[in-house]
Amino acid sequence: MISPYQQATFAFSVNTSTQLPNEAEIEVAFVGRSNAGKSSALNALTNQKALARVSKTPGRTQLINYFNLPKPNHYLVDLPGYGYASVPTRIRAHWQDLLGNYLLTRQPLQGVVLIMDIRHPLKTLDMQMLDCCHARVLPVHILLTKADKFKRGAQAKQLLSVEKALTDFPAPVSVQTFSSLKKQGLDLLTARLNQWFDVNNNTKTPD
């Protein structure tokens, strides 16, 4: 059976909170630092080469991009990357306002997939993003991307380190390693999304 995420299609882009769709029932958002591999992760999940734009210029995505899933009014949501210093101050301020408002007030939002480069996890802005999700007890699933940069032993060590750092985090959070290049970790990511989208299958849900 084809995964519902492989049937995702681009729906529309949003530049202000007033443009967010009123009819949405369930949304899961992908967010992370610029150049952490967010677009590549989305493309790997959907098994599409260019569903999400992979830019050579970090910070290029300035809009909230919505992707349709087969079930009506269910969406994958690609949020603008954060933390790229060369983005003009005015644009960066707009992103922060748009992101903050979306994460703190968006009712259809069921969970956040937070993208972190496995080589540089838990940076200050990542922790601020986690705190933002904690403010409304929004569950977070962390993808430690570009795992292929490490050997298996080093991946496991970094995963354990991040899990330990978040042991006492006061909101639901889970962590996994992921490689878009090797398609590593797709099963765990799919299982978490299935839980949030209430998709019935026999895939094991990550702890």
User: Distances from the Cα of 141 to the Cαs of 22, 67, 191, 194, 196, in angstroms?
Assistant: 25, 19, 11, 12, 11
Predicted local confidence at residue 84, as pLDDT: 66
Predicted local confidence at residue 52, as pLDDT: 85
Predicted local confidence at residue 61, as pLDDT: 58
| Residues forming beta bridges with residue 74, ordered by sequence position | 26
User: Distances from the Cα of 26 to the Cαs of 43, 106, 170, in angstroms?
Assistant: 20, 10, 23
- Whether 102 is covered by a domain: the verdict is yes
pLDDT < 70: residue spans in the chain? 54-61, 84-87, 201-207
Assigned token pair, 171 = 């909101």
- Whether 98 is covered by a domain: the verdict is yes
- The DSSP code sequence of 58-116 is TT---SEEEEE-SSTTEEEEEPPPB--TTS-HHHHHHHHHHHHHHHHH-TTEEEEEEEE
- Whether 121 is covered by a domain: the verdict is yes
- Whether 162 is covered by a domain: the verdict is yes
The C-alpha atoms of residue 160 and residue 29 are separated, in whole angstroms, by 24
Predicted local confidence at residue 121, as pLDDT: 97
Strand, coil or helix: what is 203? coil
- Structurally, the chain folds into a number of domains equal to 1
Predicted local confidence at residue 2, as pLDDT: 86
What's the CATH number where 64 sits?
3.40.50.300
Predicted local confidence at residue 20, as pLDDT: 97
| 72 contacts 24 by C-beta, under 8 angstroms | no
Predicted local confidence at residue 88, as pLDDT: 73
- Whether 10 is covered by a domain: the verdict is yes
**Domain that includes residue 31, residue range:** 4-197
Q: Give the helix/strand (H/E) hosting 196.
A: helix 186-197
- The pLDDT tens digits of the residues spanning 1-22 come to 789 999 999 999 999 999 999 9
